[in-house]
Amino acid sequence: MNVLQPNKKAAIITLLTNGISQREIGRKVRVDRKTIRKYARMVESNKAIGED
């Protein structure tokens, strides 16, 4: 099992919160779009929790 490096994880989360598309993040960070989608879901769920 591969583990995502902490700096790449932080970059993905930062770019997602800044509204960059998942495809563009994949190109910049060199990570598969499926991985980015996983972190996008986490970011969205955290936003939903924070709104309550």
| Helix (H), strand (E) counts: the chain | 3, 0
In a domain, 1, yes or no: no
Query: Confidence band (pLDDT; 50, 70, 90) for 46?
Result: confident
In a domain, 40, yes or no: yes
What is the predicted pLDDT for the residue at 1?
A: 64
In a domain, 23, yes or no: yes
pTM of the model: 0.84
What is the predicted pLDDT for the residue at 33?
A: 94
- The structural domain count of the chain equals 1
In a domain, 16, yes or no: yes
Q: Are 26 and 32 in contact (CB under 8 A)?
A: yes
Query: Confidence band (pLDDT; 50, 70, 90) for 51?
Result: low
Average pLDDT of the segment spanning 27-36: 96
Domain of 13 in residue numbering reads as 6-48
Closest CA to 9 of 24, 27, 31: 31
Average pLDDT value over all residues in the chain? 91
In a domain, 10, yes or no: yes
In a domain, 25, yes or no: yes
